[in-house]
Amino acid sequence: MADSHTDQRNRSRGQWGEDLAARHYDRLGCRVIDRNWRSPTGELDLVVLDGDTYVFSEVKARRSDRYGPAAGAVGAGKQRRIRRLAIEWLRAHDLHGADIRFDVVSITGNQITLIDGAF
């Protein structure tokens, strides 16, 4: 079990990664419209508007690739959870039939990799 110091460090790294990802989307001309949206079933890192497309972006940040690329942490189970959360978010915002996309932003050290339409 992780101690509270490790949990705090991981939350800080996650926040740092989400900040970098949000700035990256801004530079691409997209608009971050929601961050850390929570429901009883989980959390969405970023919801971004890219033109008319709602992008649900999972951000993974690691200091190094010692344990593999950050994007590798978004497996099939995590993808299913994000899809369910996206449906909840769309319903909560009365956006039925909206165009959507699922991205992964992988941050390793200071390198940002956007996987557009990752799943």
* Cβ contacts of 6 within 8 Å, gap of 6 or more: none
Least confident interval from 47-51, 52-56, 66-70: 66-70
CA distance 51 to 54: 8
CA distance 69 to 57: 17
- Specify the residue for token string 């940040």: 61
Q: Count structural domains, the chain.
A: 1
- What CATH number corresponds to the domain at position 26? 3.40.1350.10
Note the pTM of the prediction, 2 decimals.
Answer: 0.86
Over residues 19-28, mean pLDDT: 98
The domain containing residue 100 runs over which residues? 4-115
pLDDT higher than 90, residue 67:
no
pLDDT higher than 60, residue 9:
no
User: Which of 55, 66, 58, 75 lies closest to 14, judged by CA?
Assistant: 58
Collapsing DSSP states into helix, strand and coil, what is residue 73?
A: helix
